[in-house]
């Protein structure tokens, strides 16, 4: 595992996301039961939990794709639930969202996928500047050669990388990763973990990584929180979180193959 | 008196519950359809305008439908003329064939056949494409990158469909008339000039206006139904199939209803 490079110029006490008492239910099923969470500038926060515990719901609420039923979600000083559409769009430009299935636009080439947000939100850029930026982010994710390929021609790991490149192109302050290593082979998982760390150091992003993969959690997480029964039950470094006699925590650990 | 009918858990109470839930769902669906349409009419006027996407969709809907429309329209023209001849021949009125073909094709067959073919080809494609984009979170990806997916996907497709179906209708009408002409020419030796003179002599300005308005409404219906079904498709691959299928079925059903209603209105105007 590669050692993480930490930018010493970042004020790590500054909160970029602050969530208090967040509740969310779907019909009668309460997924989040009063969640409190802080994300500090420049840190990688891993949210662990079993499938269906509301991890993805949490980051969808942060990005304004879903709304919470109760509680406050403050992102970069803005209360997400109260923003007007235009204000929400402005905030979204500072948030990068990497989807579980990459969510690349099937009908567009890699270049067009990366150009898509630029054409709409960086109108001041010339075509040459745009091209340069596309090459820069593609190089950052190690896929400069894939520029003219269609998403269907890429492997799962490559699609994930391009998905991350597409979110990086608008230089976000916050990255939200939804199951970044789901469905990938162990070698590709390590590559994605390294990429997440590289994004953190190279682009100075603060990130929330949603996963149930403990190898990923240990490799990328500066801090780990564990979502159990709709609330965060454990918080700390990877070792601190799993230094517990709680049967649910231990069973979660034992079902993952690490070391 | 049946004292058990209001008891919770009894068969009548369960039936009432199921009926209420069904009615609820119908009203919620109607409200969603209304909101979807209202959003389209609101968003189409305001920038940013997705001209590039509209042109791309015009090409997909219009140009790429041409081979199928040409073949179908041409065959319908021949078959309709062939099937109409014996009835007119019984009265010794085969010379009225061009007029009959003209009225039938321009007033009804042209717009209807074009709309039905487009509902099958375009409606299902839009439903499946948007459905699969919804399922694979591509629509969410657009939204989180601060791009309005409704404007990019829905407004562009509905506008393209509303613009291209009338154009395709005109083309189908022309191709069907050509098919009819070939059949008439082969059997009655009518010249092209005479045929088209009789064709245009039989129709009125109202026929052309009505046909055009009808095809605009059909185009809007096909685009809107495909987009609504796809955009709101439920999760999973099954949802994509259902979106494509119900886009075609619903659009065809609405096209027939609209044809019936517009025909009544036009007939009333004609009588007036």
Give the closest residue to A119 by CA, choosing from A134, A97, A139. A134
Instruction: Nearest by CB to A65, from B132, B144, B147: name it.
Output: B144
pLDDT exceeds cutoff 60 at A75: yes
User: Among all residues of chain A, which has the CA nearest to that of B132?
Assistant: A106
Q: What is the pLDDT of residues A32-59, one digit of tens each?
A: 999 999 999 999 999 998 888 899 999 9
**Could you tell me the CATH number of the domain that includes residue A252?**
3.40.50.300
Please state the rounded mean pLDDT for residues B255-267: 94
Could you tell me if A146 and A189 lie in one domain? no
> Is the domain of A182 the same as that of A237?
yes
E runs forming strands in chain A: 15-26, 29-40, 44-48, 70-75, 78-79, 95-98, 174-178, 206-211, 223-228, 231-236
Q: Which of A64, A65, A166 to mutate to test the interface with B (most CBs of B within 10 A)?
A: A65
**Number of domains chain A contains:** 2
- The verdict on a CB contact (< 8 Å) between B144 and A116 is no
Test mutation, B51, B56, B64, B146, chain A, max A CBs within 10 A: B146
- Determine whether the interchain pair B145/A166 forms a contact, defined as Cβ–Cβ distance below 8 Å: yes
Residue B138: list chain A partners with CB under 8 A. 103-106
User: Are A42 and A90 part of one and the same domain?
Assistant: yes
- Residue A170 at interface with chain B, using a CB cutoff of 8 Å: yes
Question: Are both A77 and A165 inside the same structural domain?
Answer: no
Confidence at residue A244, expressed as pLDDT on a 0 to 100 scale: 79
**What kind and span of H or E run contains A111?**
helix A110-121
What does the pLDDT read at residue B2? 57
Q: Report chain A residues whose CB lies below 8 A from the CB of B153.
A: none
Q: Determine, for residues B147 and A117 on separate chains, whether the beta-carbon distance falls below 8 Å.
A: yes
Q: Which of B181, B198, B183, B215 is nearest to B107 (CA)?
A: B215
CA distance B107 to chain A (A): 38
Taking the Cβ of residue B128 and every Cβ of chain A, the question of whether any pair is shorter than 8 Å is answered with: no
Residue found under tokens 């009544």:
B264
pLDDT of residue B229: 95
Helix (H, G, I), strand (E, B) or coil at A44: strand
CA atoms of A202 and A210, how far apart (whole Å): 21
Higher model confidence: residue B174 or residue A247? B174
Q: For residue B66, what pLDDT is reported?
A: 95
Closest residue, chain A, to B49 (C-alpha): A120
For residue B231, what pLDDT is reported? 95
B250: Cβ–Cβ under 8 A, 6 or more apart, which residues?
B225, B229
Nearest to A10 by CA among A222, A170, A204: A204
Confidence of residue B221 (pLDDT cuts 50, 70, 90): very high
Cβ contact A99–B133 (<8 Å): no
Do A254 and A154 reside in the same domain of the chain?
no
A96-131 pLDDT per residue, tens: 999 998 999 999 999 999 999 999 888 888 999 999
A95 in reach of chain B (CB within 8 A)? yes
Q: Is residue A110 part of a domain?
A: yes
Same domain assignment for residues A90 and A177: yes
Q: Is A202 on the interface with B (CB under 8 A)?
A: no
Average pLDDT over residues A206-216: 92
Mean pLDDT of B165-173: 96
Asked if the model's pLDDT at residue B191 lies above 70, the reply is: yes
* Contact call for B146 and A92, based on CB within 8 A: yes
What does pLDDT average to over chain B? Answer: 92
Same domain, A187 and A163: no
Q: Is A162 within a domain?
A: yes
Tell me the average pLDDT across A199-208.
92
Whether the CB of A52 is below 8 Å from some CB of chain B: the reply is: no
Q: Which residue of B has its CA nearest to A62?
A: B144
Distance in Å, alpha carbon of B132 to nearest chain A alpha carbon:
10
Same structural domain for residues A60 and A138? no
Residue A201 lies in a domain: no
In this structure, chain A runs to a length of 259
Question: Could you tell me if residue B2 is left (phi over 0), alpha (psi between -120 and 50 degrees) or otherwise beta?
Answer: beta
**Res A231: pLDDT:** 87
**How large is the average pLDDT for residues A156-165?**
92
A101 and B146 in contact by Cβ < 8 A? no
For residue B212, give the 3-state DSSP assignment. helix
| Confidence band for A239, pLDDT divided at 50, 70 and 90 | confident
Give A41's DSSP letter: T
**Per-residue pLDDT, A9:** 64
Beta carbons of A101 and B136 less than 8 Å apart: yes
Range scoring the smallest mean pLDDT among A8-12, A167-171, A184-188:
A8-12
Does some domain include residue A249?
yes
The predicted-structure confidence for B122-163, as pLDDT tens digits, reads as follows: 999 999 999 999 999 999 999 999 999 999 999 999 999 999
β partners of residue A174: A95, A206
User: Does residue A5 belong to any structural domain of this protein?
Assistant: no
A32 in any annotated domain: yes
Q: A166 and A179: one domain?
A: no
Task: Answer for the pair A223, A236: CB distance below 8 angstroms, yes or no.
Answer: yes
Residue A231 lies in a domain: yes
What gap in Å lies between CA B183 and CA B81, rounded to an integer? 7
Q: Is A55 found in the same domain as A106?
A: no
Q: Report the share of chain A in percent with pLDDT over 90.
A: 61
By C-alpha distance, the chain B residue nearest A86 is: B146
Question: Which residue from A95, A101, A116 is facing B137, i.e. has the nearest CB?
Answer: A101
**Per-domain boundaries in chain B:** 1-43, 47-271
CB contact under 8 A, A100 and B137: yes
ipTM above 0.85 for this complex = yes
Q: Which of B16, B224, B185, B38 shows the shortest CA–CA distance to B98?
A: B185
Do A88 and A188 belong together in one domain?
yes
Q: Measure the CA–CA gap between B51 and A196, rounded to whole angstroms.
A: 36
B21 has pLDDT over 70: yes
- Report the share of chain A in percent with pLDDT over 70: 93
In sequence order, the 6+-apart residues with CB closer than 8 A to the CB of B208 are B106
Q: Quote the mean pLDDT of chain A.
A: 89
Which residue range(s) make up the domain with A39? Answer: 15-94+173-194+206-259
Beta bridge partners of A223: A45
Is residue B271 over pLDDT 90?
no
Residue A2 confidence (pLDDT): 52
Confidence (pLDDT) at B118 = 95
Is the CB of residue A146 less than 8 Å from the CB of residue A138?
yes
Q: What is the pLDDT of residue A45?
A: 94
Same domain membership, residue A177 and residue A66: yes
State the nearest Cα–Cα gap between B28 and chain A, in angstroms.
15
* A10 belongs to a structural domain: no
Chain A residues within an 8 Å CB radius of B48: 120
């Amino acid at each position: 595992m590669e050692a993480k490079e930490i930018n010493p110029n970042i004020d790590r006490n500054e909160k970029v996301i602050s969530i208090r008492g967040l509740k969310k239910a779907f019909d009668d099923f309460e997924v989040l039961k009063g969640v409190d969470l802080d994300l500090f500038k420049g840190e990688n926060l891993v949210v662990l939990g079993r499938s269906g515990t509301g991890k993805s719901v949490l980051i969808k609420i942060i990005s304004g794709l879903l709304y919470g039923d109760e509680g406050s979600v403050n992102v970069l000083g803005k209360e997400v639930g109260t923003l007007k559409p235009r204000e929400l769009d402005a905030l979204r430009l500072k948030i990068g969202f990497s989807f579980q299935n990459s969510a690349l636009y099937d009908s567009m080439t890699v270049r067009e996928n990366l150009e898509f947000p630029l054409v709409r939100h960086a109108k001041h850029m010339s075509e040459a500047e745009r091209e340069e930026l596309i090459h820069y982010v593609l190089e950052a994710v190690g896929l400069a050669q894939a520029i003219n390929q269609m998403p269907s021609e890429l492997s799962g790991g490559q699609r994930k990388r391009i998905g991350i490149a597409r979110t990086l192109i608008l230089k976000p302050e916050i990255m939200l990763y939804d199951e970044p290593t789901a469905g990938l082979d162990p070698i590709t998982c390590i590559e994605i973990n390294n990429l997440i760390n590289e994004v953190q150091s190279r682009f100075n992003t603060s990130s929330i990584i949603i996963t149930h993969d403990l190898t990923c959690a240990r490799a990328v997480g500066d801090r780990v929180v564990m979502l159990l029964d709709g609330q965060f039950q454990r918080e700390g470094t990877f070792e601190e979180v799993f230094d517990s006699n709680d049967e649910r925590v231990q069973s979660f650990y034992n079902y993952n193959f690490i070391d | 008196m049946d004292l058990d009918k209001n008891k919770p858990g009894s068969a009548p109470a369960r039936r009432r519950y199921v009926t209420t839930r069904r009615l609820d769902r119908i009203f919620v669906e109607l409200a969603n359809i209304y909101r979807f349409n209202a959003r389209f009419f609101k968003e189409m006027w305001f920038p940013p305008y997705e001209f590039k996407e509209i042109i791309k969709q015009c090409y997909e809907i219009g140009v790429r439908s041409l081979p199928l429309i040409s073949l179908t329209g041409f065959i319908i023209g021949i078959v309709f003329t062939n099937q109409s001849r014996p009835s007119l021949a019984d009265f010794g009125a085969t010379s009225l064939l061009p007029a009959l073909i003209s009225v039938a094709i321009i007033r009804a067959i042209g717009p209807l056949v074009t709309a039905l073919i487009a509902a099958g080809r375009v409606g299902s494609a839009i439903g499946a494409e948007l459905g699969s984009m919804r399922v694979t979170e591509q629509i969410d990806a657009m939204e989180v990158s601060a791009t309005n997916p409704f404007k990019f996907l829905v407004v562009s497709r509905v506008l393209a469909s509303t613009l291209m179906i009338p154009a395709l209708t005109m083309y189908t009408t022309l191709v069907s008339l050509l098919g009819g002409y070939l059949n008439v020419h082969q059997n009655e030796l009518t010249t092209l000039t005479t045929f088209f003179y009789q064709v245009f002599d039989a129709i009125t300005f109202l026929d052309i206006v009505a046909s055009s308005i009808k095809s605009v409404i059909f185009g809007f219906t096909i685009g809107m139904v495909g987009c609504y079904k796809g955009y709101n498709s439920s999760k999973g691959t099954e949802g994509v199939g259902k979106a494509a299928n119900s886009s075609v079925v619903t659009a065809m059903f609405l096209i027939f209803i609209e044809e019936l209603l517009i025909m009544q209105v036009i007939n009333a105007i004609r009588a007036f």
